């Protein structure tokens, strides 16, 4: 059996197990060794995935249950980058709390790598159960991470909510998969698509299963009305874990949405697109309006995530119009580009939040950003770039991402939907610009010196500059997304 496409997953599993064993024998003061080994593991995965990506076609292994294709390789590379940046931003935060009652030690790094392994399996899954197993591996790791601060009441409550609602969503998804298996007799995505396209399957059972499947996906994306966990978990989790939740898992969530709905259930596109319209509009409405009322920075960013994921769904629901799928590649590549843009911007935003935190102090409220320009003009400017990108203000990367999604919507003649999206984006601009106003026009409430290691300063600076440069010249990344989607759909 050809195991080469599985090498990144096998390497990460072995590396994570080795890191876990090594970490057991390390004192808290030596935790940097765990951090360095984790970064090296990510670099190894990146090299193996990049070496895999030169074939440019889809390679199926393990009885067609696992696929290595251009889209999966692109998403995996960005997932490694996202987790790597998360570990860089979190290192000081984790170190400060590793020797306190918060107890964020080596477990953080090991569970982060196990959650990444689950995401990689989700991204490359070509079988309903394989995707589900990857989802559960990622979810269980994240549940444990949210609950790491055992003596912290808010964290424990957030972890309980996340676990219970996550189990419920997993049940929805598993029930939907069982219905689809009953209707099609297969768990392989390509086979399910073939049977769904024929007249042999029971359409009622297919649609019934689809409803439960979309409900499960909506929870993982954190869109309305399955968004209840997002603000509580973002606020209750340690900031490093919140960043881990808001980064790479969103790329994996896009991947399984694409795999299940586009590759597995494309013949039912008319049905699931109608469901996504409702989810997208409600998410943009509730996410943007509710974010305005928030004073807690992490809750505000949580509602921002809800609205951003609603916007991403606009591309997913624009692939088929009047039974014509000619626009599918453009629409799905716009969604992919939007997902990558959101993750890059979120990484930097939470990086700034953790930069302001220190031992015994959490930067969690909007007031903590007051006067940041006087305390650190450069990082205030980086935060300004990130807020402008999230708001979709040119020439930032976020503007082009929103523009490409809106073009996909307009191409299907859903003008009303594009107008609604623009209106709610304008509403959302208010709370992003409020952050800029606090940084530049208010007096600082905290005069402590902002200290950060050289690697954090370098990566944060590159993160902010990249958001600007990819807005000025988005062609290369947009082309990479388009090529990945076109080749994946063609194979």
How far apart (Å, rounded) are the C-alpha atoms in residues 62 and 60? 7
- Does pLDDT of 98 surpass 60? no
pLDDT at 265: 87
Q: What is the DSSP string of 268-333?
A: GHHHHHHHHHHHHHHHHHHHHHHHHT--BHHHHHHHHHHHHHHHHHHHHTTS-BTTB-TTHHHHHH
How confident is the model over 59-79, as pLDDT tens digits?
888 888 888 888 999 999 999
How far apart (Å, rounded) are the C-alpha atoms in residues 286 and 219? 15
pLDDT at 196: 84
Least confident of 125-129, 147-151, 233-237, 440-444: 147-151
> Across residues 241-267, what is the average pLDDT?
90
pLDDT at 112: 92
> Across residues 222-234, what is the average pLDDT?
88
pLDDT at 114: 94
pLDDT category at 404 given cuts 50, 70, 90 is very high
- Does pLDDT of 190 surpass 90? no
- Does pLDDT of 86 surpass 50? yes
Q: Answer yes or no: pTM beyond 0.75.
A: yes
pLDDT at 100: 40
- Does pLDDT of 360 surpass 70? no
pLDDT category at 134 given cuts 50, 70, 90 is very high
List the one residue out of 373, 368, 254 whose CA is nearest residue 314.
Answer: 254
Domain that holds residue 427: 4-490
Does the bond joining 225 to the residue before it have cis omega, within 30 degrees of 0?
yes
pLDDT category at 361 given cuts 50, 70, 90 is low
pLDDT at 142: 92
Domain count, the chain: 1
pLDDT at 250: 92
pLDDT category at 55 given cuts 50, 70, 90 is low
E strands, 149-250, in order: none
pLDDT at 224: 86
- Does pLDDT of 102 surpass 50? no
The mean of the pLDDT values for the chain is: 87
Least confident of 77-86, 143-152, 284-293, 464-473: 143-152
- Does pLDDT of 101 surpass 50? no
pLDDT at 290: 93
CB 117, CB 12: distance < 8 Å: yes
Phi and psi angles of residue 332, each rounded to the nearest 5 degrees, phi first: -70, -35
Instruction: Please compute Rg for the chain using Cα positions.
Output: 21
* Percentage, residues of the chain above pLDDT 70: 96
pLDDT category at 237 given cuts 50, 70, 90 is confident
Decide: helix, strand or coil at residue 392. Answer: coil
């Amino acid at each position: 059996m050809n195991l080469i496409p599985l090498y990144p997953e096998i390497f990460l599993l072995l590396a994570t197990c080795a890191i876990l064993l090594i970490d057991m024998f390390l004192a808290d003061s030596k935790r940097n060794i765990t951090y360095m080994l984790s970064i090296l593991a990510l670099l190894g995965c990146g090299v193996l995935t990049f070496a895999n990506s030169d074939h440019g076609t889809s390679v199926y292994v393990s009885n067609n249950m696992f696929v290595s294709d251009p889209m999966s390789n692109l998403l995996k590379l960005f997932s490694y980058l996202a987790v790597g940046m998360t570990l860089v931003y979190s290192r000081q935060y984790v170190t400060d709390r590793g020797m306190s009652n918060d107890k964020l030690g080596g477990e953080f790094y090991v569970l982060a790598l196990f959650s990444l392994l689950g995401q990689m399996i989700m991204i490359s899954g070509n079988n309903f159960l394989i995707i589900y197993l990857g989802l559960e591996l990622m979810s269980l790791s994240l549940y444990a991470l949210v609950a790491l601060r055992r003596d912290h009441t808010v964290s424990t409550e957030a972890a309980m909510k996340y676990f219970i609602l996550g189990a419920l969503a997993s049940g929805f998804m598993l029930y939907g998969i069982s219905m689809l298996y009953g209707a099609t007799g297969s768990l392989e995505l390509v086979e399910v698509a073939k049977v769904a396209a024929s007249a042999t399957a029971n359409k009622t059972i297919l649609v019934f299963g689809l409803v439960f499947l979309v409900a499960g996906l909506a929870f993982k994306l954190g869109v309305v009305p399955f968004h209840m966990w997002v603000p509580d978990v973002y606020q209750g989790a340690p900031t490093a874990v919140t960043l881990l939740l808001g980064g790479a898992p969103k790329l994996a969530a896009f991947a399984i949405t694409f795999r299940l709905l586009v590759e597995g259930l494309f013949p039912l596109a008319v049905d699931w697109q109608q469901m996504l319209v409702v989810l997208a509009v409600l998410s943009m409405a509730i996410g943007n309006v509710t974010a305005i009322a928030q004073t807690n920075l992490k809750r505000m960013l949580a509602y921002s995530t809800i609205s951003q994921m609603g916007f991403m769904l606009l591309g997913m629901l624009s692939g088929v119009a009047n039974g014509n799928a000619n626009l599918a590649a453009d629409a799905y590549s716009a969604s992919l580009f939007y997902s990558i843009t959101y993750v890059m911007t979120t990484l930097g935003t939470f990086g700034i939040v953790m930069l302001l935190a220190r031992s015994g102090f959490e930067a969690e409220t909007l007031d903590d950003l007051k006067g940041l320009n006087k305390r650190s003009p450069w990082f205030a400017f980086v935060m300004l770039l990130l807020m402008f990108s999230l708001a979709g203000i040119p020439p930032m990367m976020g503007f082009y991402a929103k523009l490409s999604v809106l073009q996909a919507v307009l191409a299907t003649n859903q003008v009303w939907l594009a107008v609604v999206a623009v209106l709610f984006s304008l509403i959302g601009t208010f709370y992003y610009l409020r952050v800029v106003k606090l940084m530049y026009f208010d007096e600082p409430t905290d005069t402590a010196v902002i200290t950060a290691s050289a690697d954090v300063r370098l990566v944060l600076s590159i993160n902010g500059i990249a958001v600007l440069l990819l807005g000025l010249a988005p062609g290369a990344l947009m082309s990479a997304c388009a090529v990945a989607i076109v080749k994946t759909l063609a194979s």
